Amino acid sequence: PTIPLGRTLPLTATGRFSDNTSQDLTSAVTWSSNASATISVSDTAGSKGVAKAELPGSAGSTATITASLEGVSGDAIITVGME
């Protein structure tokens, strides 16, 4: 996905289980960004999983957003788009 500078993008974490069920885990996981100066992601209740393109002049830059819970994690690579 791509986020224009200064905009936000709500992300969702979905758990898929061995019994073929799935569950929205967005509010349960811990969210992090490997480049939070470029693209941050909220880990605060009420806004968990909301990514924001932060750094002016960073169009084309990327960050890996990780959602983790109990030793299991998933990643998404987000790109900063044009303003």
- Its sign, for the CA torsion 9, 79, 26, 6, is negative
How far apart are alpha carbons 23 and 37 in whole angstroms? 30
How far apart are alpha carbons 24 and 14 in whole angstroms? 5
Written as six digits, the tokens of 56 are 């002016």
Per-residue pLDDT of 26-59, as tens digits, reads: 999 999 999 999 999 999 999 999 999 988 778 8
pTM over 0.85: yes
